Structure 1
Amino acid sequence: MPIKPLFSHGPLPGYRLFFCVLAASALMFVDLHFTRMEQVRAQMSMVVAPIQWVVSVPSDLLNWGSLALSDQQALVDENRRLREQILTLSHRGQRLANLTAENSELRELLRAAKRRDIPYITAELLSLDNDPFSHQMVVNRGHRNGAYVGQPVIDASGLVGQITAVSAYSSRVLLLADASHALPVQLNRNGLRFIVQGTGRYSSVNVMYVPDTADIREGDLLTTSGLAGRFPPGYPVARVTEVYHDPGQPFARVTAEPMAQLQRSRHFLLLFRLREQKWMNTPGMKRWISHQRL
């Protein structure tokens, strides 16, 4: 019998390549100039949502298996560490109650408005983008759960990023480390305001346009300033790791390390804007949010 060749030697399908390039260019042009493509993308993401859930199943099973097969001594050590952490947090909570009462008394003296609690819902990681030039992820909350474009996302340590696209059951999050992400921050020590921009690396961000004479030091904490109304004030963003003063240059080169565990966290909180508080404080919405938090 004749041997079937491993590689075909026919003519190159150049017309197919030309058609694909033409179709891709047309789609990019339509996506850039027409907002209707956002609805199409949201509908397509509904089709992809089951696939994303299936892809996340192996990692969930692996985590469950590692927990089930954990050594007893490891569980005992972890239980001991958690008990110590609970004791430490309990001590901090006792001091926090005293500080809260003192803060309320000082606000009464200053006639300042009370700070309102920011409503939130929980979310879990579905997938991460494999593109090395883009730092984005997909979480399992969509507009059916109240998510919206521009919504801030945090983890247990600090700010993670913001939602850029929403479908019915999932949302795409642009991470703080992405090179196209920037947000206003302020120095927790003295209130100086700057802009933090991603570098394309998970381990560092740039603090932009810092005057060479600005009072900023290594170890300073940068928090959200609340300017522009997108991110609520007071959430940790990054900690300054390097301040370099270049002689003759008007701005210092400042880098910082994100506080959030961008490569490790799997559970997040989606925060709602303050101007949506009236809508969020309706009785039906309160019951729904309490259910979503669980």
Structure 2
Amino acid sequence: MNLMFSQGPSLPNRLVLGLLVSIFLILFDHKLNGFATTRVYLNSFVSPLQYLANLPGELLSASAGRLVSHEQLFKENAQLTREALLMSEQLQKLKFLEAENDRLRSLLNSPVKHDRRREVAELMAVDNNPYSLQITINKGALNGVFENQPVLDDRGIVGQIMQVGSTNSRVLLITDVTHAIPVRVARNNVRLIASGTGSLDELIIQHVPHSTDLKEGDLLLSSGLGNVFPEGYPVAEITSIISDDGRPFLKVKAKPIAQLDRLKYLLLLWSETTSSSQLEEEVTL
């Protein structure tokens, strides 16, 4: 088998020849810049290969960056979601506190005489008995609460205290079937008796002669008779008047002014004599 380069100049001679040619080309390119155009073509020819060689690394870098960005976005999204929930909860709490504040302001600004003692109570429980409309409040004998004490909300009369404990009390609502309250018509001062029906949104006016001057929409105020409820507080609004010549009296229905189905805060009133005696005791002390 013939070996390549077995014929011709010897290896040392070829090495010397190669060195001389290399030196000549270096000097030629350095002095005369003769290979500038050739280098441009060679770079253009090799550049696609360089891009192909760098492509896997760039793809890996892009994938890693995308994964990092996706993970970062996921974390930021989760954090923003938590912050949004916290802000929503705080907003709901602020709205609730604002509504509670408005109700308390309305309650304390109700038309109570300045020489009366008054105190805010809060609803604790509602009686489950369908035949008795009663509620429980968080004020009792330790707070000076007494039986038959009038109870109001921010709109009108709610009922009266029927049973007193040491720290809580039971309130009989004005719509209970056993309850009745003397009232008068704000328009013409006609005196009537409003009785409960067992329904939270309805009262009946009994024994009203046909000749009585009543109109739908008339406002009924407490008359002060009976020495339980102070005079002049809203009680109900007449919603229906039915005249039947076959009956001796009109059939009159009214709707309570107080929101008996959504009670939260209530106002307890003391009589003027009780307030005056308490003030005298405080001055004496």
Superposed pair shares fold, TM > 0.5 = yes
Matched, 1:275 2:259: no
Matched, 1:195 2:193: yes
Matched, 1:172 2:170: yes
Larger Cα Rg: Structure 1 or Structure 2? 2
Q: TM-score, normalised by structure 2?
A: 0.61
Find 2:208's aligned residue among 204, 207, 210. 210
Instruction: Compute the displacement of 1:73 (Å).
Output: 9.2
**Which runs of 5 or more residues in structure 2 are unaligned?**
1-84
Structure 1 segment 71-220 matched on structure 2, within 5 A: 72=91, 117-220=115-218
**Contact persistence 2:151–2:268 (CA under 8 A):** yes
Q: Secondary structure at the match of 1:282?
A: helix
Instruction: Compute the displacement of 1:71 (Å).
Output: 7.3
Residue aligning to 2:32? none
Give the Cα–Cα distance (whole angstroms) in 2 for the partners of residues 206 and 226 of structure 1: 19
Residue aligning to 1:236? 234
Instruction: Compute the displacement of 1:270 (Å).
Output: 0.6
Q: For structure 1, which segment, 267-276 or 216-225, has the greater mean C-alpha deviation from structure 2 after superposition?
A: 267-276
2:124 counterpart letter in structure 1: L
Residue aligning to 1:224? 222
1:215 counterpart letter in structure 2: D
Give the Cα–Cα distance (whole angstroms) in 1 for the partners of residues 193 and 86 of structure 2: 42
- Structure 1 outlier segments of 4+, above 2 Å: 66-76, 115-118, 280-285
Instruction: Compute the displacement of 1:121 (Å).
Output: 1.1
Give the Cα–Cα distance (whole angstroms) in 2 for the partners of residues 279 and 182 of structure 1: 29
**Which runs of 5 or more residues in structure 1 are unaligned?**
1-65, 94-114, 288-294
**Contact persistence 1:204–1:256 (CA under 8 A):** yes
Q: For structure 1, which segment, 67-76 or 240-249, has the greater mean C-alpha deviation from structure 2 after superposition?
A: 67-76
Q: Secondary structure at the match of 1:277?
A: helix
Give the Cα–Cα distance (whole angstroms) in 2 for the partners of residues 67 and 214 of structure 1: 60
2:127 counterpart letter in structure 1: D
Instruction: Compute the displacement of 1:67 (Å).
Output: 11
**Contact persistence 1:119–1:280 (CA under 8 A):** no
Give the Cα–Cα distance (whole angstroms) in 1 for the partners of residues 249 and 86 of structure 2: 50
Q: 1:68 to 1:272 in 2, by over 3 A?
A: farther
Q: Secondary structure at the match of 2:226?
A: helix
Q: 1:212 to 1:68 in 2, by over 3 A?
A: farther
2:221 counterpart letter in structure 1: T
